[in-house]
Copies of this chain bind each other. A is one copy, B any other.
Amino acid sequence: MLKIEHLGIAVKDLQKSNDLFAQLLGVEHYKIEEVASEGVNTSFFKVGENKIELLEATKEGSPIEKFIAKRGEGIHHVAFEVEDILVEMKRLEAAGFTLLNKKPKKGADNKLVCFVHPKTSNGVLVELCQSIRE
């Protein structure tokens, strides 16, 4: 794991939360990107070498909608940057962690991603992400 790539935060209203986090972090978001396959709109802020990703549900029954219904707005997941996602997925599976997708999938911000089930990681939803090389 190379660093915390981003912290994902579930929000109800992306526009309102963009304003709130701009005030909190002292910087404006630098992009908004929809990930239709996950039913979310995302917004990104840079904080040094790390990022904050706000997540707003775009459809009923999406993971973010369910998360907010159950726990309210707040921190949803932590994403670690990895050098080689296939190597890390193999390593973690061998160590007993449960992966939520068996193959890397395309996430926001030009990344290949894989999620680790929070039940095997102390209640923490962990995302592995690797930049897609051109």
List of B residues within 8 angstroms of A72 by Cβ: 123
When all copies of this chain in the complex are counted, the total is 2
**A23 contacts the other chain (Cβ, under 8 Å)?**
yes
Residue A37 interfacial (CB < 8 Å): no
Given contacts A24-B126, A122-B20, A126-B24, A78 and B7 within 8 Å (CB-CB) = yes
Tally of A interface residues using CB under 8 Å: 40
Chain B residue with the shortest CB-CB distance to A126: B24
A78 to B11, CA, bound (A): 16
The interface of chain A, by Cβ under 8 A from chain B, is: 1-4, 7, 9-11, 17, 20-21, 23-27, 47-50, 71-75, 78, 80-81, 91-92, 95-97, 116, 118, 121-124, 126
